[in-house]
Structure 1
Amino acid sequence: MPAVVNIAAYRFVSLDDLPALQRAARERAQACGLKGTVLLAPEGINLFLAGARAGIDAWLDWLRHGPAFGERLAGIEVKESLSDHVPFRKLLVKVKREIIRMDHPTIRPEAGRAPAVDARTVVRWLRQGRDDAGRELVMLDTRNAFEVDEGTFRGAVDWRISKFTEFPAAVEAHRAELEGKTVVSFCTGGIRCEKAAIYMAEAGIERIYQLEGGILKYFEETGGEGFEGSCFVFDGREALDPALRPRLDRPAEPAEAP
């Protein structure tokens, strides 16, 4: 049985005194024996960490109920997978302008999310090729092109962006192609879609949903029906198959969280 627990989580919530939170998060993660990346910004937190079960559980308990964040992260949802080795060489805790860069500061998921759709509903829609009202279904991949190349939903729309800051321009260039359809935007763990779906709704796309929990939660709940290939992840495992098993399970330098 693999001994290493890998977690991915994010939450959009207003944070201040970021240097103090950075110090506290680093000290606690080190005390728990964890490696990976934690990003902090005024808009929230994004993290990818790995370690023993006891360390992960202790970190999450501190994150949700400890003195540093109070109860602001009590409801943070976590996606888990297992591996034989820790896929990071070190721990990085960084302060950023955004936890997922889009360069559109008016898009603030904390103020209100776009509608979300759960994994089992998406399975039903994929089988039908339409939503429950009979409208054509479009699966829209909001990830970067190199991530999409590892795997995506069968027939998904891919605008071949090289970084997320290109997404708004891609929406403007392709919005007519989405008119009259039900659009489900998706990404690795859900964070990009929190912003992407809001932007698309504000751009006038009427039926836009975000896939709750992203591809990783979809794998966890459905086994990956309709998904072809693997899901790229930003650590030494490189990609996970629909059973959440690493394609490559070896230590590597940590990549910056997406």
Structure 2
Amino acid sequence: MKKFQTILYYCYSPIANAEQFAATHLTFCKSLNLVGRIIVADEGLNGTISGVKADVEAYMAAIHADERFAKTEFKIDEVDEPSFIKMHCRYKDEIVHSGLKDPNIINPNTRTGKHLEPVEFQKMIKEEDVIILDVRSNYEHNLGRFKNAITLDIENFRDFPEQINELAKYKDKKVLTYCTGGIKCEKASALLLHHGFNDVYQLHGGIIKYGKEAGGEDFDGKCYVFDNRIAVDVNSVNPSIVSTCYSCGIVTPKMINCANPECNEHITQCDACGEELEGCCSVACTTHPRKRQYDGTGYYVKVPQQVNVSAK
């Protein structure tokens, strides 16, 4: 049995005095020996945290005990070691940055696409006249994506609104949106509806839940995650690898961050090129004076914080 758990979750629910809540919540998380990354905004919570099972369960119980977050769904992974080294809980303008703050346009509590459970999504993607839309960034869908999905040339989710005109030709079709855990689809589907798309759906719980409940069928490659695992397997039915090495072009499922901290590019890179380029995306980056030590993972942290692994 694995000692640790990593949970992924979000909840759109208004938080009064959210900045103060973030500070208090950080203290609470540290009291439970948790590590991870939580974003707090006036509109809700978005987090991935990791720790021993008892600590994680105590955290989930506390979230559900708060009536604001009682409906929060957690995606739970059993892991061999914590998926973070530090605990961060920060206040930001949005829990997923879209740049759209007008509640008359974007309010996931009042209007979003129709939520499809994984098994429903699995059936619908096989229908004719259906558009499968990946609302994630380039580096994410380059690593893995659903078969026949439309992917967007965007560096960040805040670039998604600029794609609406390009997507307008699909207004009269069934549009099925998906992302990692569902949080981006809440806003993406709302924006599509605002712009006159007639029939919009979203994969409830995202790729992660789809992998757990539908076996990940027809998802090619791996799923990028925002912790030190970097990528996780999804498809246990008909898996394949679709990503190629940024440096040499061979097929590889491995993703790293460039070792040059001023570049920090998310790239897929095979082990051979990783060793040759010392974890960098280019020869130029290997000469940067602040280049980080490449340990084969391509994931970099600043100051370690141990997770308490004692029995509870």
TM-score above 0.5: yes
Where 2:68 maps in the other structure, the secondary structure is coil
**Equivalent-residue separation in structure 1 for 2:88 and 2:37 (angstroms):** 5
Partner of 1:194: 186
Partner of 1:164: 157
| 8 Å Cα contact 1:109/1:195 also seen in 2 | yes
Partner of 2:206: 214
Partner of 1:175: 168
Partner of 1:39: 39
Structure 2 gap ranges (5+): 237-252, 256-295, 303-312
Partner of 1:253: 301
| 8 Å Cα contact 2:19/2:41 also seen in 1 | no
Give the 5 Å matches for 1:61-140. 61-65=61-65, 70-106=66-102, 107-126=106-125, 129-130=126-127, 135-140=128-133
Instruction: Return closer, same or farther for 1:252/1:50 CA change in 2, 3 Å cut-off.
Output: farther
**Equivalent-residue separation in structure 1 for 2:301 and 2:76 (angstroms):** 20
Where 1:25 maps in the other structure, the secondary structure is helix
Alignment match of 2:231 (pick from 225, 234, 239): 239
Give the Å deviation of 1:182: 1.0
Where 2:57 maps in the other structure, the secondary structure is helix
| 8 Å Cα contact 1:142/1:192 also seen in 2 | yes
Q: Which moved more, 1:20-29 or 1:152-161?
A: 20-29
Counterpart check, 1:3 vs 2:3: yes
Instruction: Return closer, same or farther for 1:243/1:32 CA change in 2, 3 Å cut-off.
Output: farther
**Equivalent-residue separation in structure 1 for 2:215 and 2:151 (angstroms):** 22
Higher relative contact order (CA 8 A, sep 6+): 1
**Equivalent-residue separation in structure 1 for 2:211 and 2:21 (angstroms):** 32
Give the Å deviation of 1:247: 7.3
**Equivalent-residue separation in structure 1 for 2:254 and 2:9 (angstroms):** 21
**Equivalent-residue separation in structure 1 for 2:32 and 2:166 (angstroms):** 47
Which entry has the higher C-alpha Rg, 1 or 2?
A: 2
Give the Å deviation of 1:173: 2.1
Equivalent pairs: percent with the same residue? Answer: 29
Give the Å deviation of 1:46: 0.3
Instruction: Return closer, same or farther for 1:165/1:101 CA change in 2, 3 Å cut-off.
Output: same
Q: Which moved more, 1:4-13 or 1:20-29?
A: 20-29
Residue deviations 1:41-84, cap 9 Å, x none? Answer: 0111000000011000111111221xxxx311111111111211
Where 2:67 maps in the other structure, the secondary structure is coil
| 8 Å Cα contact 2:36/2:86 also seen in 1 | yes
**Equivalent-residue separation in structure 2 for 1:206 and 1:112 (angstroms):** 13
**Equivalent-residue separation in structure 2 for 1:26 and 1:50 (angstroms):** 14
Instruction: Return closer, same or farther for 1:151/1:223 CA change in 2, 3 Å cut-off.
Output: same
| 8 Å Cα contact 1:141/1:185 also seen in 2 | yes
Which residue type is aligned with residue 95 of structure 1? Y
What value does the CA root-mean-square deviation take over the aligned residues? 2.0
Residue deviations 1:152-189, cap 9 Å, x none? Answer: 0011000121111111111222211x133211000000
TM-score (norm 1): 0.88
Which residue type is aligned with residue 112 of structure 1? R
| 8 Å Cα contact 1:145/1:161 also seen in 2 | yes
Count of aligned residue pairs for this structure pair: 242
